[in-house]
Amino acid sequence: MANHKSAEKRIRQSARKRDINKASLSKMKTLVKKVLSTTTLEEATTSYKEAVAHLDRISVKGRIHKNNASRKKSRLTLHINSLTKA
């Protein structure tokens, strides 16, 4: 348990940041799954744009590494391209 005022504040700040980060990562996973589960090109492109925007946003803020975001975007793009060929 925290004994100092600054330590109590740090606990509150950490809890708030943890909730924000958890929600952001959960949304990222949901958006990626949404793109990969689509079978039509129209649905996939709208979901893709939303997912890529969110990935860029959270990578800039440091919630995930920029290479991790890039890898996820690459895999989503491959899925979109596979829909156009089929």
Structural domains of the chain, with CATH: 5-85 (1.20.58.110)
31 touches 47 (CB < 8 A): yes
pLDDT of 65 reads: 97
Task: Quote the distance between the C-alpha of residue 50 and its chain's center.
Answer: 10
Q: Which residue has the tokens 């979901």?
A: 47
**pLDDT surpasses 70 at 8:** yes
**pLDDT surpasses 70 at 35:** yes
12 touches 4 (CB < 8 A): no
**pLDDT surpasses 80 at 53:** yes
CA angle (25 as vertex; 23, 28 as ends), nearest 5: 110
Q: How far apart are CA 65 and CA 16, in angstroms?
A: 21
- Its pTM stands at 0.87
13-34 pLDDT, tens digit each: 999 999 999 999 999 999 999 9
